[in-house]
Amino acid sequence: MKVFVLLGAPGAGKGTQAALVASRLGAAHISTGALLREEIKSGSALGQKVKAIVESGSLVDDQTLFECCHGTLVRAKEAGKNSLLLDGVPRNLSQVRILDEVLLKLNLKVDAAIDFEVSKDVLVARLSNRWTCQKCSAVVSGNAEGLAPSSCASCGATHSYARRKDDEPAAVAKRLGVYEAETAPVSGDYQRQGLLHRLDAQRDPEMVYLDVAAVITKKLK
């Protein structure tokens, strides 16, 4: 199984592209954001800890993050997929090393890192108009007036959309600041390893998908 790390600031479109690749190329997809939200929803002690961190706009610490996703990594390999997309990890240079160690124990390694590049203005606009279904966690963009759809296209629930606390303006500014300080250097590390592919993620999602798919299919040959 080939492992692909998806990099980029919040709102860069990593989740959108991962969903497309998973449905069209049959890749396994691990979204640490989704895992953390599921942990929060469970109401566990770990979930309560994660909730406080996430809602403050900070990044979840390394130990807590890998505690949430280790079992999912194991199950992803056992599923027998030809590729695995990691969306949300590693988020700092320390996590690059931890991920390498975790993958090595599974006889895996990072085969490529794809960096979704988007300007700060576009990121802020995207995040401020992003809505999450409270029933199924589907994420959509609001209309031109910034309003959410009246019903969820994924689960059919009505009036179920709400803006996540970490998508509120103050939290967005903090998240982007944390990204620049802690996560952006990860791209440089993978570039030094010869594994980085930079993509213009401000284009139409289908255009971005073609570039993402090209990177993945080339590695699978």
Q: Which helix (H) or strand (E) holds 86?
A: strand 83-87
- Which domain, by its residues, includes 207? 2-118+177-220
pLDDT in tens, the chain (221 residues): 999 999 998 889 998 899 999 999 999 998 887 777 777 888 888 788 888 887 787 777 888 888 777 778 888 888 888 999 999 889 889 999 989 998 998 999 999 999 999 998 888 888 878 888 888 887 888 776 777 888 998 898 888 888 877 777 777 778 888 888 888 889 999 999 999 999 999 999 999 999 999 999 999 98
The pTM of this model reads 0.76
User: Which residue in 80, 76, 78, 100 sits closest to 89, CA to CA?
Assistant: 100
Catalytic annotation, residues: 14, 91, 130, 164, 175
Q: Is the dihedral of CA 94, 117, 56, 167 positive or negative?
A: negative
Contact 28, 84 (CB under 8 A): yes
Domain annotation covers residue 197: yes
Domain annotation covers residue 157: no
User: Which residue in 88, 113, 108 sits closest to 166, CA to CA?
Assistant: 88
Domain annotation covers residue 144: no
List the CATH number of the domain containing 72: 3.40.50.300
Domain annotation covers residue 171: no
Domain annotation covers residue 158: no
Radius of gyration of the chain (CA): 17
Domain annotation covers residue 146: no
Q: Is the dihedral of CA 78, 82, 85, 86 positive or negative?
A: positive
Other residues' Cβ atoms within 10 Å of the Cβ of residue 70: 13
Q: Could you tell me the CA-to-CA distances from 129 to 58, 94, 118, 172 in Å, in that order?
A: 20, 32, 16, 11
Domain annotation covers residue 91: yes
The total domain count for the chain is 1
| Cα–Cα distance, 216 to 31 (Å, whole number) | 17
Domain annotation covers residue 212: yes
The torsion of the CA quartet 106, 109, 110, 111, rounded to 10 degrees, works out to -130
